[in-house]
A and B are shown apart, each in its own frame.
Chain A
Amino acid sequence: MGKIITWVVLVLVVAAGAWWYFMSGSSAPATVPATAPAATQPAAQGTSQGGVSASSGTSDAQLQADLNTVDSQTQAASDANASASSFSDTPVQQVQ
């Protein structure tokens, strides 16, 4: 019985350590290798909140950023559409 408890505690400690390791790794800034000179790839603008801006340029990086914004907004639209398409509701039954 004592051995079982020891093993359970050991597994929990290892799982907690693994969880901490992955969580701390995911929150750290990712190192992205540069694929193009900074001079030819200006900083991309635009976020999913603000939408694609016509004045933000047409550089490769900006087009990629715009695509990311479109992806994000399309996903939000898909979620909202799923919510609108299915409305199942169960009211609390009242005393009659």
Chain B
Amino acid sequence: MNLTNKLIAALSGSVLLFAAVPAFAQGVGATLNASASGASTSVSAHADARITNAKNRADQEIDRRTTMLNDLSTKVQAMTKLSAQEVSAITSAISTQVSDLASLKAKIDAETSFTALRTDSKSIVSSYRVFILVIPQARIEIAADKIQTAAASIATLAGKLQARISDAQTAGHNTTALSASLTDMNAKIADANTQTSSAVHEAANLTPDNGDQAKMQANNAAIKDARTKLQAAMKDVQAARQDAHAIVKELLSFDASANASASSTAPGRQ
């Protein structure tokens, strides 16, 4: 009896054990599956985050460039002294850049793989070479236009001052210094126009280097030289402006002395 009971107990234990093993195995498998699924979800979320991050960075850079280019375009349209051909050329360059950036942004926003986005990002970096050429070109032309605008006004004022100096000379005033200042003024205006025209010509004809180091250095040298010419033109305009102020001040002093003289010699005023 005792032996029988032991056998029954042993058999029951074996049955229970073999019944439990599959259940245990099933439980372990479920846990592993859940873990693998969680890891997959995590990897997928990480990839999505990378794509979103890459898109955000790309969009930020594109928006930044587009804003800067549109601002420049507005200023270019307000230019009055440069030729229609020069205005058209720089306007076209800016428009092309804005259009290309808009296309690139649309492409990036539609991308779903990180590999494709990486290629687009390289495109953003390579197109930066065009961007950093167009911006200085446009700014040089805008500055040249402003300098020529000021020079034109000073030139018109110089004509008026010439008339007033002639009147003052006729009235018996010593106008030698005034004439010298006016001559200097006209020379400065002429040089300012020469320098700005040269700067515009130098900057307008540049083309993107497309990775050519020699061309990049030549472009940089040309931009630098154009800027130097603008600086010289600006100094000319400032000197001409100072001449104009000095001449007007002297002419007004002639008037004041003439008025004082007239008052002191007027009848009834002793």
A residues whose Cβ falls under 8 Å from a Cβ of B: 51-54, 58, 60, 62-64, 66-67, 69-71, 73-74, 76-81, 83-85, 87, 89, 91-96
Contact = CB atoms under 8 A, between A and B. Distances in A.
Interface stretch (B39-47, B58-66, B84-92, B172-180): B58-66
Contacts of B251: 60, 63
Contacts, number: 124
Interface string B125-158: 1001000100110011011011101101110110
Given A89-B132, A92-B64, A94-B121, 5 more contacts: A52-B156, A52-B160, A73-B150, A83-B142, A87-B135
A94 B125 contact: yes
A53 B54 CA distance: 55
Q: In the A-B complex, list the 7 residue pairs whose CB atoms are closest, starting with the nearest.
A: A94-B121, A73-B150, A92-B61, A77-B146, A84-B143, A80-B143, A84-B139
30 contacts: A51-B149, A51-B153, A53-B156, A58-B160, A63-B164, A63-B248, A69-B153, A70-B157, A70-B244, A73-B153, A74-B237, A76-B146, A77-B150, A78-B234, A78-B238, A80-B146, A81-B147, A81-B230, A81-B231, A84-B139, A84-B227, A89-B132, A91-B64, A92-B60, A92-B61, A94-B122, A94-B125, A95-B50, A95-B117, A96-B118
Contacts of B124: 94
Contacts of A84: 136, 139-140, 142-143, 227, 230
B244 to A, nearest CB: 6
B132 to A, nearest CB: 7
Contact of B57 (A64, A89, A92): A92
Question: Which secondary structure characterizes the binding site on chain B?
Answer: helix
Contact of A87 (B50, B53, B139, B145): B139
A74 B135 contact: no
A28 to B, nearest CB: 29
Contacts of A63: 157, 160-161, 164, 248, 251-252
A94 B143 contact: no
Given A52-B157, A84-B230, A71 B248 contact: no
Interface in B14-61: 50, 53-54, 57-58, 60-61
Given A52-B156, A70-B241, A93 B136 contact: no
Given A74-B150, A92-B60, A80 B241 contact: no
Q: In terms of DSSP, what is the predominant structure of the interface of chain A?
A: helix
Nearest to A95: B54
A91 B61 contact: yes
A26 B211 CA distance: 55
A29 to B, nearest CB: 25
A6 to B, nearest CB: 46
B93 to A, nearest CB: 16
B245 interface: yes
